[in-house]
Amino acid sequence: MFLQQLINGLAQGSLFALIAISFSLVWGLLKMVNFALGEVYMLGAYAGWLVVTHVSPNLGLALAAGFAAGWAAGWLIEKVAFKALRGVPHIASLVCTIGFSFFLKEGATWAFGAETKGMPAFYSRTACTIAEANISWLQVIMVVIAVVMMAGLQLLFFRTKIGLAVRTVAMDYRTASLMGMKVDKVTSLAFSLSGALAGFVGVLAAVYYNAIFPSMGFVAGLKGFTAAVFGGITSIPGAILGGYLLGPIENLSVQFVSSGYRDFVSYSILIIFLLFRPNGILGKKTKL
Amino acid sequence: MRKTLTVFMVAALAATGIGRAATKADANTIHIALTAPITGDYAEYGTNFKRSVEMGIEEINAAGGVLGKKFVLSVGDSKGDPKESVNLAEKWISDPSVFAQIGDFTSTCCMASQPIYNRAGMIQLSPTASHTKFAAGSKWSFSIVGTQAMEQPFMAKLAVQHLKAKNIAILYINNDWGADTQKFFKENFEQMGGKIVAVESFFQGEKDFTAVLIKLRQAKPDALYIATMFNDCATISQQREKMGWNLPTLGPSSLYSPQLIALGGTSVNGLYSNVSFFTKDPDKRIQAYVTGFQKRYNDTPNFHAALAYDSIYLLADAIKRAGSLDREKVRETLAATKDFKGLTGSITFTPNRDAVKSYKYIQVVNGEFQLPKI
């Protein structure tokens, strides 16, 4: 039973880790939180659902649609909430992203209706059984996709020119712009990428839980943010670690404490880390 | 700047004033307020409330109205949030033309706004609040869904007599309603000699039930009791099926919705619940309502929608019997309602203003709700 909880926790952790990366991408660049990410995740799920039900029942295509929808949403949020509000206090952008989250949620309710939509099952058969613990193909695929995504991002940031540009702007955007860097382009790219990741995870989660509804992003966004703070929001490996720790911790707390305390455990971690170690487990020591 | 602002404000005031005159009540109308979660997590229920009440009012008005007056409706969106529900209650009571209020959807919202209606002396008729402490809390509050205290003994009986279950595990949504529902099921089942071997809960918005299902499975129950809304139940059942855990499942009337089967697929086959409204009921009035609803909204109504439809007819009936628009008199007449023939069964109020309902078992068989022979 312990093993089964651990495996399910790791699968869930993959989802948390990917959302956490979305948060840390934006944070790393602008020291700001995009609170609409949960809703971008929801938007991605709907995009995937549209493709599966109207175009072709293909998981790859659905994931691509989620990625594209998330990219577009991330791009738009940056243009409105950050670029247009540059130079005014940070809080304005923050509130604007909260506004976006309401806008996207109510927009989805208007466009798709409030009722829960189902997603056809993909790869739900059991891949293997270890000591009575079942692992489904979907769980395997989720972990593999997550790991590949993370490795790809690490390569992008540390082995390419684009990555170098993002890291430079993250370090000091004023100096970077004085040196002739196209700060706007880099910021826009990071936002779009962050949104695309969130949209992508939205599709994965929609398939895994077989449920799509307008308010699905709230809990997902909060848990992803928790994972990011837990592992260290300033670093991508930190965000990954946070996600993969939070998933099993949640599942094991259900097993050994009580299911009612699942969110209590997660949000206690969030509060304790924000209070006492805001840099997370792996984060570099910076002033927040 | 100030000038433009003044002009703008005057224009805005004028606009609202005109709007008011056009939509709100006059001497020949009865103004009813509806509070429902039109947006937010419970939007599908709120939308159905609005649809059913609008449909009912149109029919009543087409038939000549009540006491020679026509109904007009104002709808307020509580978003499923008790704070919004309270704000709306304040809004309705401050408008002297509003005669009575229908709503809200959740017990939590109804109980939050109850003191306001009580203070103002306005009827608060909730189609769906099933918490045992709601209607009992104020003489102006009414609920027609029947309380969990009456429904759960019926389900416990099914578990004991038909399923022959001795050990049951419970999974419930942790809110006023879920806690109340599981409490009454547990009490009744234990009184009938059964044993509850595990109780677990979750909060609104949770979608990962694998961990809690694994834990419940370890208690080796004969059946699983699921006290949630139908969409959560569908997700729970699917994750249970994926785990390869097969056992009889049952739950309260909130599970009765075509969406349960649409979302749950094969995983909800065999599930037991109960209804006091069934869309396939051959009764003529029910069929007229179902086809009328489908024609208007291209959607099949569920239990909650039918309750909202009954609410407006019940209110119209009480006003007719009272013969006047005196609030206290209508309240007394409504409280004295006996055997009102609604779509969701006949309605008679207890001294606590809860409706006594009759229930039927239903079961999902081959992807369809059926009335099992029990």
Condensed to tens digits (0 to 9), the pLDDT of residues A189-243 reads 999 999 999 999 999 999 988 889 998 999 999 999 999 999 988 888 888 999 9
Nearest neighbour of B235 by CB, restricted to A8, A209, A214: A209
CA A186, CA A54: separation in Å to the nearest integer? 35
Stated as kind and residue range, the H or E segment containing B124 is strand B123-126
Stated as kind and residue range, the H or E segment containing B72 is strand B70-77
Instruction: Identify from B210, B235, B242, B300 which residue to disrupt to test chain A contact, counting A C-beta atoms within 10 A and taking the largest count.
Output: B210
Nearest neighbour of A106 by CB, restricted to B39, B211, B244: B39
* pLDDT tens digits for range B301-338: 988 999 999 999 999 999 999 999 999 999 999 999 99
What's the token pair of residue A160? 């390419």
Name the more confident of B87 and A280. Answer: B87
* pLDDT tens digits for range A133-148: 788 888 898 899 888 9
CA A197, CA A190: separation in Å to the nearest integer? 11
Residues 195-224, chain A: which have Cβ within 8 Å of B? 205, 209-211, 213-216, 218-219
CA A32, CA A94: separation in Å to the nearest integer? 7
The pLDDT assigned to B19 comes to 39
Rounded mean pLDDT, A56-70:
93
CA A235, CA A265: separation in Å to the nearest integer? 23
The pLDDT assigned to A287 comes to 47
Mean pLDDT of chain A: 89
In a domain, A67, yes or no: yes
CATH superfamily, with its number, for domain B149-276+360-370: Response regulator (3.40.50.2300)
In a domain, A226, yes or no: no
Residues 289-348, chain B: which have Cβ within 8 Å of A? none
In a domain, A205, yes or no: yes
The pLDDT assigned to B181 comes to 93
Q: Where are the beta strands (DSSP E) in chain A?
A: 126-130, 133-136
Pick from A116, A288, A137: which is nearest to A213 by CA?
A116
Dihedral, A246, A250, A256, A261 alpha carbons, nearest 10: 130
**Contacts for B185-188: CB closer than 8 Å, 24+ residues apart:** B185/B148, B185/B152, B185/B155, B185/B156, B185/B225, B185/B227, B185/B252, B187/B152, B188/B152, B188/B153, B188/B155, B188/B156, B188/B157
The pLDDT assigned to B101 comes to 97
What's the token pair of residue B370? 């059926």
**Could you give the 3-state DSSP secondary structure of residue B116?**
helix
In a domain, A5, yes or no: no
Yes or no, beta carbons of A8 and B203 under 8 Å apart: no
Name the more confident of B282 and B14. Answer: B282
Give the confidence band of B300 by pLDDT, cuts at 50, 70, 90.
confident
For the entire predicted model, the pTM comes to 0.79
CA B293, CA B51: separation in Å to the nearest integer? 8
Give the confidence band of B257 by pLDDT, cuts at 50, 70, 90.
confident
Yes or no, beta carbons of B44 and A114 under 8 Å apart: yes
The pLDDT assigned to A32 comes to 85
According to CATH, the topology of domain B2-126+285-343 is: Rossmann fold (3.40.50)
Alpha helices in chain B (DSSP H): 2-23, 43-62, 82-94, 107-120, 148-157, 176-191, 210-218, 230-242, 258-264, 284-297, 303-322, 327-335
* pLDDT tens digits for range A267-281: 999 999 989 888 888
The pLDDT assigned to B25 comes to 64
Q: In this structure, what are the phi and psi dihedrals at residue B139, rounded to the nearest 5 degrees? A: -70, -10
Give the confidence band of B6 by pLDDT, cuts at 50, 70, 90.
low
The pLDDT assigned to A286 comes to 55
Domain range enclosing A73: 12-217
Yes or no, beta carbons of A115 and B44 under 8 Å apart: yes
In a domain, A181, yes or no: yes
Tell me whether B188 touches chain A (CB under 8 Å): no
For residue B24, give the amino acid letter. K
**pLDDT of A288 higher than 90:** no
Count Cβ atoms within 10 A of the Cβ of residue B262 and give its class: 0-12 exposed, 13-18 middle, 19 or more buried.
Answer: middle
The pLDDT assigned to A5 comes to 87
Yes or no, beta carbons of A136 and B208 under 8 Å apart: no
Name the more confident of A115 and B157. Answer: B157
In a domain, A255, yes or no: no
Q: Which residues contact A30 (CB under 8 A, 6 or more apart)?
A: A82, A173, A187
**pLDDT of B244 higher than 80:** yes
Name the more confident of A114 and B161. Answer: B161
Rounded mean pLDDT, B271-286:
90
- Residue of chain A nearest B257, judged by CA positions: A115
Instruction: Identify from A129, A254, A266 which residue to disrupt to test chain B contact, counting B C-beta atoms within 10 A and taking the largest count.
Output: A254
In a domain, A100, yes or no: yes
Yes or no, beta carbons of A8 and B210 under 8 Å apart: yes
CA A276, CA B29: separation in Å to the nearest integer? 62
The pLDDT assigned to B75 comes to 95
Pick from B250, B237, B234, B110: which is nearest to B181 by CA?
B250
Domain count within chain A: 1
Yes or no, beta carbons of B210 and A210 under 8 Å apart: no
Q: Return the number of other C-beta atoms located less than 10 Å from residue B197's C-beta.
A: 16
**pLDDT of B254 higher than 80:** yes
Q: CB of A118 within 8 A of CB of A53?
A: no
In a domain, A241, yes or no: no
CA of A52 vs chain B CAs: smallest distance (Å): 15
Domain residue ranges of chain B, discontinuous segments joined by +: 2-126+285-343, 149-276+360-370
Dihedral, A169, A172, A177, A181 alpha carbons, nearest 10: -30
The pLDDT assigned to A19 comes to 94
Mean pLDDT of chain B: 89
**DSSP class of A181:** -
Nearest neighbour of B44 by CB, restricted to A4, A113, A263: A113
* pLDDT tens digits for range A94-135: 999 999 999 999 899 889 887 788 888 787 777 777 777 788
The pLDDT assigned to B20 comes to 43
Q: Which residues contact B340 (CB under 8 A, 6 or more apart)?
A: B314, B317, B346, B347, B348
Give the confidence band of B18 by pLDDT, cuts at 50, 70, 90.
very low
CA of B298 vs chain A CAs: smallest distance (Å): 13
**pLDDT of B10 higher than 60:** no
What are the CA-CA distances from residue B196 to residues B155, B162, B221 (Å)?
A: 14, 17, 8
Rounded mean pLDDT, A51-77:
94
The pLDDT assigned to A180 comes to 86
The residue with tokens 């709120």 is B46
Angle at Cα A152 formed by Cα A149 and Cα A157, nearest 5°? 125
Yes or no, beta carbons of B238 and A210 under 8 Å apart: yes
